Amino acid sequence: MASHVVAATAEFPPGTRRVIEIDGRAVVVFNVKGEYFALLDKCPHNGGSLAAGVVTGLLQSAEPGCYSYAREGEIIRCPWHGWEFDIKTGRSFCSVIRARARAFPVHIEPGQTIVEGPYRAETVPVRVEDDYVVVDA
Amino acid sequence: MQRPADIVDCDIHPAVRSMADLEPWLERRWIEHYKTYGALRQTHYVSGAPYHKSQPNASRRDAYPPEGGPQGSSPAFLSSHHLDANGITVGVLNPLVQSQGVRNLGHSAALCRAINHWQAEIWVAREPRLRASIVVPYEDPDVSADEIRHWAGDRRFVQVLLLSRSSSLPGNKRYWPIYQAAAEAGLPVGIHAFGNSGWPVSNVGWPSFYLEEMVGHAQTSQSGLVSLVLEGVFERWPTLKVVLVESGFTWAPSLLWRLDKAFDTLRSEVPHLKLRPSEYIRRNVWWTSQPMDEPENRRFLADMFDWLGWDRLLFSSDYPHWDFDDPTRVIMFPASEEQRQAFFAGNARAVYAL
């Protein structure tokens, strides 16, 4: 394992991203509100470059008519098919309500508001060393 | 999956940087007309697509050419970013540049002619891997037939392009001049999803969501296919080839079963048909693969291929659109070398005489 310097922290502000190549593989590093995270720059669904995606939040709905955003700035949306991944963990989401239908009476159980999706983007460890963002891979 | 050696991509979308790109082949009358009045669609009150897209220009965000302009507007970048990167040996262009659904039929015809020149001179002339489609103003079928005859024999063009949402069902007699001309020229007719007919994608009105349009193309395509068969288009032009583009295909086996069953008891209504509907379809119709369905168990797709026939399906990527299919991620289930070769290249080479 070798350490790869991504950028000086002063030149890598929150909300931005950098792409570096490590052993022939592209890795995208994100600054999320002052914390750094890295993902393999290849969407696990069909291989799109996550670096070209939009950083967004998760739009959720506890019930029809109620909408809220969560995790703003922590979600990357693939530029191809729009799969969404948690930048911190690489987990994919399909933001649906887990509702359990029963015969009678019918009601919606709040349950988990976010259901994990089928894909997981590969994460890469990142650390800050002497004011430089460093990826160990 | 390892990338096949020969890949024919049957659905690539070149874009104009702006409509000014077409001006070299437009009379001043139409250049001024466009600047003054625009290009009204058959769809009321809408100057663009009826549904806003989920990505800019309905295209991959990583597909912007480095020199600027929308995705798909740079021949050089399309060659490197798609043909080279994905190992495409032949690519069929299907321009969805506004033209076919334009309500002013004279304007529609002028735009189609200009788009055909633009494909031939800007795209195919510079990139030997590309082939063009003859874009026709299909709501004026006689003029469309003239457009087909104008380019017939020019091997830069490998098909006639229609859109699935025409103002009448595609088997309707008023479109027959198009099929006559295509059959004479030996050119397949590609019917691509979308269109600006004025009709909603659903037959029960306008849906609320783009997502409904995305899945609704399958219904439109089924209605169109049934119309082509039952109106006797394939009885009149037995050699006519129709390629249904970007409308899905997993609906087709059940449609064929249902159509044959109903036909067997109702055939006296359509005595002009000499074959069962599925026999015409398996003789005259092909489907492109993108957007490939993704069942949880991908092996279910192998059944679909078997039921429809491995000779019926053509690989397509839809580059640069956002729902692009990567050729190495399409056949995610066991298939023989022969089946893969047919799907990725052999079928298309036969259909398009490549």
> In this structure, is residue B1 part of a structural domain?
no
CATH of residue B117's domain is 3.20.20.140
A82–B61 C-beta distance less than 8 A? no
Query: Between residues A103 and A40, which one has the greater pLDDT?
Result: A40
CA angle (B162, B167, B170) in 5-degree steps = 50
Chain A residues with CB-CB distance to B323 below 8 A: 80-81
pLDDT the model gives residue B50? 82
Who's near A20: CB < 8 A, 6+ residues apart? A4, A6, A26, A27, A29, A135
Which of A46, A47, A79 comes nearest B61 by C-beta? Answer: A79
For residue A117, pLDDT beyond 90: no
Contact B62/A49, CB-based, under 8 Å? yes
Residue with tokens 């394939």: B234
Range list of H helices, B238-354: 252-266, 277-284, 299-308, 337-341, 347-351
**pLDDT tens-digit profile, chain B (354 residues):** 789 999 999 999 999 999 999 999 999 999 999 999 999 888 877 777 888 888 999 999 999 999 999 999 999 999 999 999 999 999 999 999 999 989 999 999 999 999 999 999 999 999 999 999 999 999 999 999 999 999 999 999 999 999 999 999 999 999 999 999 999 999 999 999 999 888 899 989 999 999 999 999 999 999 999 999 999 999 999 999 999 999 999 999 999 999 999 999 999 999 999 999 999 999 999 999 999 999 989 999 999 999 999 999 999 999 999 999 999 999 999 999 999 999 999 999 999 999
Cβ atoms of residues B101 and B341 within 8 Å: no
Question: What's the domain count of chain B?
Answer: 1
Candidates A46, A53, A79; nearest CB to B326 = A46
Residue B3 within any structural domain of the chain = no
Q: In sequence order, what DSSP letters do the residues of B161-205 get, joined into one string? A: EEES--SS-TTSGGGHHHHHHHHHHT--EEEES---SSS-SBBTB
pLDDT score for A4: 87
Residue A74 clears pLDDT 90, i.e. is over it: yes
Note the pLDDT tens digit of each residue in A90-102: 888 764 433 333 3
Q: How many CB atoms lie within 10 A of CB B259?
A: 20
Residue B93 belongs to some domain of the structure: yes
Residue from A38, A37, A41, A65 nearest A53 by CA: A41
Rounded-to-integer distance, Cα A75 and Cα A87, Å: 6
Neighbours of A2 (CB within 10 A): 8
What pLDDT is attached to residue A75? 93
Q: Write down the pLDDT at residue A129.
A: 85
pLDDT of residue B206: 92
More confident residue, B62 or A131: B62
What is the pLDDT confidence band of residue A12, given thresholds at 50, 70 and 90? Answer: very high
Whole-number Å distance between alpha carbons of A41 and B4: 24
Contacts of B328 in chain A (CB under 8 A): 47
- Interface membership of A47 toward B (CB under 8 Å): yes
Decide if A44 touches B, using CB distance below 8 A. Answer: no
Q: What angle do CA B219, B220, B221 make, to 5 degrees?
A: 90
> In the predicted model, what is the mean pLDDT of residues A121-125?
87
pLDDT of residue A114: 57
Q: Select the residue from A80, A83, A96 to test the B interface by mutation, using most B Cβ atoms within 10 A.
A: A80
Domain annotation covers residue B59: yes
Choose among B54, B55, B326: nearest Cβ to A47.
Answer: B326
Distance CA(B13)–CA(B19), nearest Å, equals 15
3-state secondary structure of B19: helix
In a domain, B66, yes or no: yes
In a domain, B105, yes or no: yes
Interface residue of A45, A46, A119 to substitute, partner B, most B CBs within 10 Å: A46
Pair B331, B299: CB distance under 8 Å:
no
CB–CB contact B329 A79 (8 Å): no
- Indicate the residue of A46, A79, A81 with minimum beta-carbon distance to B62: A79
Chain A residues within an 8 Å CB radius of B326:
46-47
In sequence order, what are the beta bridge partners of B159?
B133
3-state secondary structure of A95: coil
Domains, in order of start, for chain A: 3-136 (2.102.10.10)
Structural domain of B247: 8-351
- pLDDT at position A104 is 37
The answer to whether A117 faces chain B, any CB pair under 8 Å, is: no
Query: Which chain A residue shows the shortest CA-CA distance from B64?
Result: A52
Please name the residue of chain A whose CA is at the shortest distance from the CA of residue B330: A46
Q: Tokens 């050729």 appear where?
A: B327
Please give, rounded to a whole number of angstroms, the shortest distance from the CA of B223 to a CA of chain A: 27
Higher pLDDT, A129 or B307: B307
- The answer to the question of residue B70 being in a domain is yes
Residues of B in contact with A81 (CB under 8 A): 322-323
Closest CA to B6 of B350, B352, B351, B340: B340
Distances (CA, A) of A69 to A17, A36, A61: 22, 22, 9
Cα–Cα separations (whole angstroms), residue B56 to A85, A100, B63, B235, B243: 20, 36, 10, 43, 27
User: Is A80–B54 a contact, with Cβ atoms under 8 angstroms apart?
Assistant: no
A94 at interface of B, judged by CB pairs closer than 8 A: no
State yes or no: pLDDT of A108 exceeds 70: no
pTM of the prediction?
0.89
Residue from the list B62, B323, B328 with its beta carbon closest to the beta carbon of A81? B323
Q: Provide the pLDDT for residue B41.
A: 84
**In the block, residue with structure tokens 């969404």:** A84
B48 in a structural domain: yes
Q: CA–CA distance from B69 to each of A7, B94, B233 (Å)?
A: 30, 19, 41
- The CA distances from residue B335 to A108, A135, B291, B338, B342, in Å, are 44, 40, 19, 8, 11
Torsion of the alpha carbons at B199, B205, B208 and B210, rounded to the nearest 10: -40
- Distance (Å) from the C-alpha of residue A48 to the closest C-alpha of chain B? 8
* Chain B residues touching residue A48 (CB < 8 angstroms): 60, 62
